[in-house]
Amino acid sequence: MADLAWQYCCTVMAAATMRQSNWGARRFQARDVTEDHDFDPEKVVHKSRISGKDLEFMHLAIEQAKKCVPVETAYNVGAVIADTANGEVLSVGYSREIPGNTHAEQCALDKLYSQDRYSAGNLPDTLAVYTTMEPCSKRLSGNKPCAERILESGIKLVFIAVLEPVHFVNCKGKGMLEDSGINVIHLKELEEECKALNSHIFLGQR
């Protein structure tokens, strides 16, 4: 039944996407919806409701984060890129997976681009990023921030489980994405689990 509901949801979402291309309007409908898991096709505007599939993808991102080798100077983060139209996982990544002080979203995107059919700026608008922590907006290493990479990718839907704490930098990733019309959904029910991934450095300011 869950799969059928998901497929139905995707069909409605696709129709809604075709009707409504104003992401700026959509994002406000996506906020603070974590308490509402009831599916109401009349209210669906490109994932303004969270499905069990979304939680499943975030759990997969958590499993990715657990593969991180902990370091004192960076967080353990996991990321998944999935197609919400068919529930297919297209790419996964975790912090420092690829050499060069890489981040989870960066690894997942680079691995996605390594597949012939996907390139930055030309991704289907049904794709979503699921990341255990808010995408970074500033990197002390000078590398391109993940929020910027997501904006360049063309992905319009991002799920996060925890905001980046004010520890290394003052992260503005969520706001930066939303200001550019990206739909950012905070899966607060998985927040504690994702905080625990960084218990070695998490100070809990946010």
Chain positions contacting Zn ion, by CB under 5 A: 103, 136, 146
Kindly tell me which of 5 and 169 has the beta carbon lying closer to Zn ion.
169
> Going by C-beta distance under 8 Å and a sequence separation of 6 or more, which residues neighbour residue 164?
75, 133, 134, 136, 171, 173, 206
Kindly tell me which of 53 and 164 has the beta carbon lying closer to Zn ion.
164
Q: Identify the CA nearest to 83 among candidates 17, 131, 128.
A: 128
Minimum CB separation from Zn ion for residue 19, in Å? 33
Kindly tell me which of 82 and 146 has the beta carbon lying closer to Zn ion.
146
The one catalytic residue in 63, 72, 88, 105 is 105
Minimum CB separation from Zn ion for residue 135, in Å? 6
Dihedral sign of CA atoms 97, 113, 61, 138 in order: positive
The H or E element spanning position 183 is strand 183-186
Phi, psi of 129 (to 5 degrees): -100, 135
Phi, psi of 130 (to 5 degrees): -115, 115
Residue appearing with tokens 């509402």: 36
Minimum CB separation from Zn ion for residue 133, in Å? 8
Beta strand residue intervals within 60-171, DSSP E: 78-83, 88-94, 127-133, 157-162
Query: 134 catalytic, yes or no?
Result: no
CA separation for the pair 84, 90 (Å, rounded): 10
Kindly tell me which of 42 and 72 has the beta carbon lying closer to Zn ion.
72
Minimum CB separation from Zn ion for residue 137, in Å? 9
Which residues are known catalytic residues? Answer: 105
